[in-house]
C-alpha cells in the first residue's frame, strides 16, 4: 500500500503508518524515570513488568482492558499469563527497540492498576 499521503495517524487510511523511532539513550533514561515499576532489558531494548492479581478472573479482566488500550493505540504487548500473573514486555518491532509508543502504553497500563 502506498503511504505517500500518510503523514498523520488522524487519517484513518494511515493508521499505523506514521514513523516511529527508537528512543535515544537520554530520552529512554528520562522516560524510564517516570516508570519505576518497569525494568529495562538492554539486550532487547524492551521494558517489562510483572502484574500479580488475586486470581485468574482479576488477571484476565486486566488483560482485557490492556487489549482494548493496545488495539486503540495500534501498539501491542508481548505477554504471558499464568493463573493470577501477567508478564508484559513492551518494545516496538517496527523500530527495532523502545519507542515513545511503548512509554505511552506503559503509562496507560500503570494507570489501570492505579
Ligand X SMILES: C[C@H](O)[C@H](O)[C@H]1CNC2=NC(N)=NC(=O)C2=N1
Size of the site for ligand X (CB under 6 A): 7
CA-based angle 89:10:79, to the nearest 5? 10
| Binding span for ligand X by CB under 6 A among 4-12, 36-44, 52-60, 73-81 | 73-81
CA-based angle 58:62:66, to the nearest 5? 170
Tell me the torsion sign for CA atoms 66, 38, 94, 79.
Answer: negative
Binding string, 88-107, against ligand X, x = CB under 6 A?
A: ----xxx-------------
Find cell 498523520 and name the residue. 8
Q: Interaction with ligand X in 13-72: which residues (CB under 6 A)?
A: 16
Nearer to ligand X, 60 or 97 (CB): 97
Q: Which residues would be at the binding site for ligand X (CB under 6 A)?
A: 16, 74-76, 92-94
Amino acid at each position: 500500500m502506498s503511504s505517500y499521503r500518510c503523514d498523520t495517524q488522524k487519517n484513518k487510511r494511515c493508521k499505523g503508518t506514521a514513523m516511529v523511532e527508537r528512543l535515544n539513550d537520554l530520552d529512554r533514561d528520562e522516560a524510564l524515570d517516570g516508570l519505576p515499576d518497569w525494568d529495562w532489558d538492554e539486550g532487547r531494548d524492551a521494558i517489562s513488568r510483572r502484574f500479580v492479581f488475586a486470581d485468574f478472573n482479576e488477571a484476565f479482566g486486566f488483560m482485557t482492558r490492556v487489549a482494548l488500550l493496545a488495539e486503540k493505540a495500534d501498539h501491542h504487548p508481548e505477554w504471558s499469563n499464568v493463573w493470577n500473573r501477567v508478564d508484559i514486555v513492551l518494545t516496538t518491532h517496527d523500530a527495532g527497540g523502545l519507542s515513545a509508543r511503548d512509554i505511552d502504553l506503559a503509562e496507560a497500563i500503570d494507570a489501570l492498576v492505579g
